[in-house]
């Protein structure tokens, strides 16, 4: 069986800066892949390529053997890859339910993760907040709400860029549990960028370490923790 998601030698340059410089990896099915690396190592740019926000300068991304890269974010969402929105603008004046309804119209109705708004909200423990306006939520609730909005598009692949930033340990652990339910119950493949190793290492089955736009190492969290090169360049810093 071919990979669910295949990232094949993708690169992206901005002027003379090689933000991402030949990254390849595969995701086979519902799972959590952790993506770590120092600031400026290309993590966000890589997610932007996979999400269709940027066309790669080289290489391609395929979802279930169909090339999805270079088609723009909107068509990539329709194909089944979604990232969390970086701003909370969408959620500000609308209720969470309204934002989720809008997102579900943008999404991929045939996807195996398609669920009702109430089911998704229940899975993320947001049912009591469905009819509240975004701006009334705490920042941790807003981050969870953004994941609910993204899941309303019924993705096969969910990309989360630093979802635990600003969360305390209990909030981060609740988020990790929610991500596990998304993987196991919605059968979504999740790629998570985060600097908080207490959050990410117990959550991820595989970890990909980036440095200067390239893959420095891949492995299980245990292998990555034991990798001297990773410790020197990142974990020990």
Ligand X SMILES: Nc1ncnc2c1ncn2[C@@H]1O[C@H](COP(=O)(O)OP(=O)(O)O)[C@@H](O)[C@H]1O
Please choose which of Mg ion, ligand X, none residue 14 contacts, taking the beta carbon within 5 to 8 angstroms, the exact cut-off set by kind: ligand X
Please tell me whether residue 41 binds ligand X under the rule CB under 6 A.
yes
Compare residues 30 and 42 and give the one whose CB is closer to ligand X: 42
Binding-residue pattern over the window 16 to 45 for Mg ion, x denoting contact by CB under 5 A: ---------------------------xx-
Smallest separation (angstroms) from ligand X to the CB of 212? 9
For residues 47 and 45, give the distance between their C-alpha atoms in angstroms, rounded to a whole number.
5
Tokens 């990896």, residue?
Answer: 25
How many chain residues are in contact with ligand X, going by CB under 6 A?
11
Alpha carbon 194 to its chain centroid, in Å, reads: 10
Q: Is 134 in the site for ligand X (CB under 6 A)?
A: no
Rule CB under 6 A: is residue 19 a binding residue for ligand X? yes
Binding residue (CB under 6 A) for ligand X from 39, 66, 105, 170: 39
Answer yes or no whether residue 83 interacts with ligand X by CB under 6 A: no
22 binds ligand X (CB under 6 A): no
Continuous H helices in 72-168 = 73-79, 89-92, 96-106, 117-123, 139-151
Q: In degrees rounded to 5, what are phi and psi of residue 131? A: -105, 15
With both helix axes pointing from N to C terminus, report the angle between 169-185 and 139-151 in degrees, rounded to the nearest 10.
Answer: 10
Q: Does residue 52 touch ligand X according to CB under 6 A?
A: no
Contacting ligand X (CB under 6 A), which of 44, 69, 84, 141?
44
Out of Mg ion, ligand X, none, what residue 19 binds, judged by CB under 5 to 8 A for its kind, is ligand X
Residue from 45, 76, 142, 152 binding ligand X (CB under 6 A)? 45
Angle of CA points 184, 140, 47, to nearest 5°: 60
Residue 86 engages ligand X in binding (rule: CB under 6 A): no
E-assigned strands of the chain? 5-14, 17-27, 31-36, 58-63, 66-67, 81-83, 157-161, 189-193, 206-211, 214-219
Residue whose pair of structure tokens reads 């770590």 in the numeric block: 36
Instruction: Supply the minimum distance, in Å, between the C-beta of residue 165 and ligand X.
Output: 12
For the record, the structure tokens of 164 come out as 């635990």
- Binding interface with ligand X (CB under 6 A): 14, 17, 19, 37, 39-45
The residues binding Mg ion (CB under 5 A) are 43-44
């Amino acid at each position: 069986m071919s990979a669910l998601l295949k990232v094949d030698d993708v690169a992206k340059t901005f002027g003379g800066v090689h933000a991402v410089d030949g990254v390849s990896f595969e995701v086979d099915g519902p799972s959590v892949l952790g993506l770590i690396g120092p600031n400026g190592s290309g993590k966000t740019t890589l997610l932007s390529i996979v999400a269709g926000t940027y066309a790669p300068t080289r290489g391609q991304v395929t979802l279930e053997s169909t090339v999805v890269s270079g088609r723009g974010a909107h068509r990539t969402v329709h194909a089944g890859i979604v990232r969390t929105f970086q701003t909370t603008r969408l959620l500000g004046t609308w209720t969470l339910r309204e934002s989720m309804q809008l997102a579900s119209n943008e999404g991929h109705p045939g996807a195996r993760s398609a669920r009702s708004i109430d089911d998704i909200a229940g899975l993320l423990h947001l049912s009591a907040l469905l009819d509240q306006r975004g701006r009334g939520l705490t920042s941790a609730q807003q981050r969870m709400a953004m994941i609910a909005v993204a899941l309303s598009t019924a993705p096969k692949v969910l990309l989360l860029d630093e979802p635990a930033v600003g969360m305390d340990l209990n909030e981060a652990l609740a988020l990790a549990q929610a991500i596990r339910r998304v993987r196991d119950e919605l059968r979504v493949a999740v790629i998570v960028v985060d600097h908080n190793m207490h959050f990410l290492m117990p959550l991820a089955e595989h970890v990909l370490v980036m440095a200067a736009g390239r893959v420095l190492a891949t492995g299980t969290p245990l292998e990555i923790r034991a990798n001297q090169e990773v410790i020197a360049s990142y974990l020990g810093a």
